[in-house]
């Protein structure tokens, strides 16, 4: 397995948009965690964090059970300055959720140091809870049998949110997430997309400084995904909320995050810009072209023919490149009917990045 | 402490309203519960239609044991009985949700799935207790009445501690609800009868290991002027409250250790 790709140059150029936030601007330069003493601490600081689970497994063919050590997270270091929006990706079982659970205080790290908003999550979980918002895509915090509004009222009382602030935040969420007609509907009657929007609003009513989203777009249709993404971008831009988001949908990352971290087998494999990730993974996007009639394999510069099926052909091109010149070149030479671009799946990118692994 | 009570109240109210979303179901289960607990004591009275005494105890005396443990257990079951479903939340990972709120987790977990229908057992227990108090051959002086009242309350606290300790154990065991039930429901049934009926080792176990004997056996036998099968100093009859406090402290420690070892689930 190769070492972590180091691409600090790309990260720094992307981080310039954080300058509206004065709290942590110098923390974005260089290794923030190490230089924390010199300036303000980053919003999320993780140093050499590990989580080791003891798992008992049956030995095949006998009743004996053996203890196994599973290193879900195996020495991760990163820092996220305030106001940044970071994508956290990796294949299933890579350690994404475990990391998030350590950042919320649900799980206690086996080793290393974690600080979120200056707080040690596992030691001061309840105090941290007021300053973070968490959305688990696969799990709802809403009350199944009660109207959506009741869940929000409970949040108001549990977090002791001042009435004026609560009304303002709720109104903003209702407005941006189209929750108006849903407030009096029992949660069990909401669609998956509606419930997810409801969950995201519930996580933001107390003005958290940090928002963790664990697969917030899982199972949603295209329209709901777009709505969720638009809302998250607004929250990040207007409130300066620091966002850490895990997903399997690269489009989430592309539309929202300037920085992406890739985790695999509990180790951080990449930390930098999305374009850098594509370059590192030599990933390709696919252009699916429908011609007016069946043609022999087309040849255009910058693309590679993959396969044909009747008048439809698949062409691969580097993910970092724009599709526009390719389309222009094709249109100039062949009769086009339709075309679409397919993004590389994150698993493919990662698989290619670490080929043998 | 205050935070805990406020949280408990909030969550309880949410569950009561959730229950009311299914009104018919609530009415039917409440009636069913009431009928089942009522029949519970009827079996004892039926037994006494064939015998005059059970282990030397008359029906009103057994009813005094029955009433005290029923009210204690009923209170604990109403307040903390949901903790025996904690294993499910630990296994499916929904326990995470409780940890993410800025409120005491034990209060949230105890109020989880709060079921008002459990009031039935308390009402039935109070009825039996009232009947027993009026019929037993005891002169109800102020100290005797005070001891009985304190006994019911410390008994409830001891049962609560057992619920909490059992819940804490579920963090390691995944689901130990049945072990917990054997102590809570099983203990409640045990305490309805005079201790002389049971093997001495069992009596020793519930006196010194899981101190259920302090829920009602020792103080009620004292009030009735009956000897306890084990050789204990006379002041042991009044230890209910201190034992309850000690149990709650130990259960609290176990709960903390349990939460620390919580492992959540894969996603």
Domains and CATH numbers, chain A: 5-131+208-280 (3.40.50.300), 282-353 (3.30.70)
| pLDDT exceeds cutoff 70 at A18 | no
pLDDT tens for each residue of A155-194: 999 999 999 999 999 999 999 999 999 999 999 999 999 9
Q: How far apart are CA A47 and CA A35, in angstroms?
A: 12
- Given a contact cutoff of 8 angstroms between Cβ atoms, the answer to whether B205 and B217 are in contact is no
| pLDDT exceeds cutoff 90 at A55 | no
Q: How confident is the model at residue A354 (pLDDT cuts 50, 70, 90)?
A: low
Closest by CA to A7, choosing from A259, A252, A243, is A259
Q: Nearest CA to CA, how far is A44 from chain B (Å)?
A: 17
- Give residue B42's pLDDT: 92
Q: Cβ contacts (< 8 Å) between B21 and chain A: which residues?
A: 145-146, 186
Q: Nearest CA to CA, how far is A205 from chain B (Å)?
A: 13
- Give residue B191's pLDDT: 95
Q: Tokens 């201190």 identify what position?
A: B242
Q: Cβ contacts (< 8 Å) between B10 and chain A: which residues?
A: 154, 157-158
Q: Nearest CA to CA, how far is A158 from chain B (Å)?
A: 7
Closest by CA to B227, choosing from B192, B195, B201, is B195
Q: Give me the mean pLDDT over the B57-76 stretch.
A: 96
From A145, A158, A186, residue closest to B101, measured CB to CB: A158
pLDDT tens for each residue of A248-295: 887 888 889 989 999 988 999 889 987 777 777 677 888 999 999 898
What Rg, from alpha-carbon coordinates, does chain B have?
Answer: 19
Interface test with B, best of A54, A73, A126, A208 (most B CBs within 10 A): A126
- Given a contact cutoff of 8 angstroms between Cβ atoms, the answer to whether B98 and B105 are in contact is yes
| pLDDT exceeds cutoff 50 at B56 | yes
Q: Is the complex ipTM more than 0.90?
A: no
**Contacts of A61 by beta carbon, 8 Å cutoff, 6+ apart:** none
How big is the A-B interface in CB pairs under 8 Å? 61
Q: How far apart are CA A271 and CA A269, in angstroms?
A: 7
Phi, psi of A345 (to 5 degrees): -70, 145
Phi, psi of B174 (to 5 degrees): 80, -65
Phi, psi of B159 (to 5 degrees): -65, -40
Q: Cβ contacts (< 8 Å) between A125 and chain B: which residues?
A: 99
Interchain proximity B100–A104, CB inside 8 Å: yes
Phi, psi of B49 (to 5 degrees): -75, -15
- Residues from B in contact with A at Cβ < 8 Å: 7, 10-11, 14, 17-18, 21-22, 93-94, 96-97, 99-104, 260, 262-264, 266-267
- Give residue A196's pLDDT: 93
Interchain proximity B262–A97, CB inside 8 Å: no
Q: How confident is the model at residue A19 (pLDDT cuts 50, 70, 90)?
A: very low
Q: Cβ contacts (< 8 Å) between B94 and chain A: which residues?
A: 139
- Give residue A346's pLDDT: 65
Q: Give me the mean pLDDT over the A75-89 stretch.
A: 95
Interchain proximity B102–A159, CB inside 8 Å: yes
Q: How far apart are CA B11 and CA B110, in angstroms?
A: 9
Enter the tokens of residue B58: 């008359």
Reduced to 3 states (helix: H, G, I; strand: E, B; else coil), residue B55 is: coil
Q: Nearest CA to CA, how far is B37 from chain A (Å)?
A: 29
From A127, A129, A154, residue closest to B10, measured CB to CB: A154
Enter the tokens of residue A180: 């108006």
> Cα angle at B60 between B55 and B66, to 5 degrees?
80
B59-63, B172-176, B199-203: the lowest-pLDDT one: B172-176
Interchain proximity A108–B10, CB inside 8 Å: no
CB proximity A105 to B under 8 Å: yes
- Given a contact cutoff of 8 angstroms between Cβ atoms, the answer to whether A105 and A232 are in contact is no
Q: How confident is the model at residue B6 (pLDDT cuts 50, 70, 90)?
A: very high
Mean pLDDT (chain A) is: 84
Q: Give me the mean pLDDT over the A18-26 stretch.
A: 38
Q: Give me the mean pLDDT over the B247-264 stretch.
A: 89
Mean pLDDT (chain B) is: 91
Interchain proximity B267–A97, CB inside 8 Å: yes
A2-6, A56-60, A268-272, B148-152: the lowest-pLDDT one: A2-6
Interchain proximity B7–A158, CB inside 8 Å: yes
Closest by CA to A189, choosing from A146, A153, A222, is A146
| pLDDT exceeds cutoff 80 at A28 | no
Residues B132, B133, B134, B137: what is their CA dihedral angle, to the nearest 10 degrees?
A: 90
Q: How confident is the model at residue A39 (pLDDT cuts 50, 70, 90)?
A: low
CB proximity A55 to B under 8 Å: no
From B14, B22, B97, residue closest to A150, measured CB to CB: B14
Q: Nearest CA to CA, how far is A161 from chain B (Å)?
A: 12
Q: Nearest CA to CA, how far is B181 from chain A (Å)?
A: 26
Percent residues over pLDDT 90 in chain A: 50
Enter the tokens of residue B51: 């015998």
- Give residue A30's pLDDT: 37
From A129, A136, A139, residue closest to B102, measured CB to CB: A129
Percent residues over pLDDT 70 in chain B: 97
Interface test with A, best of B94, B101, B106, B107 (most A CBs within 10 A): B101
Q: Nearest CA to CA, how far is A67 from chain B (Å)?
A: 15
């Amino acid at each position: 397995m190769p070492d972590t790709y180091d691409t600090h140059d790309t990260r720094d150029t992307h981080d310039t948009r954080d300058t509206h936030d004065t709290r942590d601007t110098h923390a974005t330069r260089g290794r923030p965690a190490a230089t924390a003493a010199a300036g303000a601490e980053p919003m999320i600081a993780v140093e050499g964090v590990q989580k080791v689970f003891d798992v008992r497994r049956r030995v095949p063919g006998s009743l004996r059970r053996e203890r196994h050590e599973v290193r879900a997270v195996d020495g991760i270091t990163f820092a996220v300055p305030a106001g940044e929006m970071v994508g956290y990706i990796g294949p299933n079982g890579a350690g994404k959720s475990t990391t998030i659970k350590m950042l919320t205080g649900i799980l206690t790290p086996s080793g290393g140091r974690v600080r979120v908003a200056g707080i040690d999550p596992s030691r001061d979980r309840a105090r941290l809870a007021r300053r973070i918002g968490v959305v688990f895509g696969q799990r709802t915090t809403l009350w199944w049998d009660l109207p959506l509004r009741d869940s929000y009222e409970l949040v108001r009382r549990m977090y002791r949110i001042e009435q004026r602030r609560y009304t303002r935040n709720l109104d903003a969420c209702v407005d941006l997430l189209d929750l108006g007609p849903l407030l009096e509907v029992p949660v069990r009657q909401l669609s998956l997309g509606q419930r997810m929007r409801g969950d995201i609003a519930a996580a933001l009513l107390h003005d958290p400084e940090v928002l963790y989203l664990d697969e917030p777009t899982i199972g949603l249709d295209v329209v709901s995904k777009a709505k969720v993404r638009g809302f998250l971008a607004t929250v990040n831009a207007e409130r300066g909320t620091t966002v850490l988001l895990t997903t399997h949908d690269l489009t989430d990352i592309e539309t929202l995050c300037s920085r992406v971290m890739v985790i695999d087998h509990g180790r951080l494999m990449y930390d930098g810009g999305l374009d850098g990730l594509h370059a590192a993974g030599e990933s390709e996007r696919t252009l699916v072209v429908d011609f007016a009639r069946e043609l022999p394999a087309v040849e255009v510069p910058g693309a590679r023919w993959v396969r044909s099926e009747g008048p439809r052909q698949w062409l691969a091109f580097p993910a970092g490149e724009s599709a526009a010149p390719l389309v222009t070149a094709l249109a100039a030479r062949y009769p086009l009917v339709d075309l679409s671009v397919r993004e590389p799946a994150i698993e493919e990118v990662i698989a290619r990045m670490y080929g043998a692994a | 402490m205050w935070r805990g009570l406020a949280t408990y109240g909030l969550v309880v109210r949410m569950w009561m309203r959730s229950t009311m979303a299914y009104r018919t179901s609530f009415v039917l289960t409440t009636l069913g519960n009431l009928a089942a607990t009522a029949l519970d004591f009827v079996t004892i009275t039926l037994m006494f239609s064939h015998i005059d005494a059970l282990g030397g105890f008359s029906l009103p005396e057994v009813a005094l044991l029955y009433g005290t443990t029923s009210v204690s257990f009923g209170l604990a079951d109403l307040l903390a009985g949901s903790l025996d479903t904690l294993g499910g939340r630990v296994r499916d990972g929904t326990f995470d949700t409780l940890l993410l709120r800025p409120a005491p987790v034990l209060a949230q977990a105890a109020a989880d799935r709060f079921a008002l229908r459990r009031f039935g057992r308390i009402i039935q227990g109070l009825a039996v207790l009232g009947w027993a108090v009026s019929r037993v051959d005891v002169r109800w002086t102020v100290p005797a009445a005070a001891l009985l009242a304190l006994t019911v309350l410390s008994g409830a606290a001891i049962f609560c501690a057992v619920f909490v300790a059992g819940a804490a154990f579920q963090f390691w065991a995944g689901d130990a609800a049945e072990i917990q039930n054997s102590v809570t429901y099983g203990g409640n049934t045990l305490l309805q009868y005079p201790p002389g009926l049971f093997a001495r080792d069992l009596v020793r176990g519930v006196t010194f290991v899981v101190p259920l004997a302090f829920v009602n056996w020792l103080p009620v036998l004292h009030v009735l002027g009956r000897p306890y099968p084990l050789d204990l100093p006379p002041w042991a009859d009044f230890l209910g409250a201190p034992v309850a406090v000690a149990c709650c402290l130990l259960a609290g420690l176990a709960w903390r250790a349990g939460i620390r070892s919580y492992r959540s689930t894969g996603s």
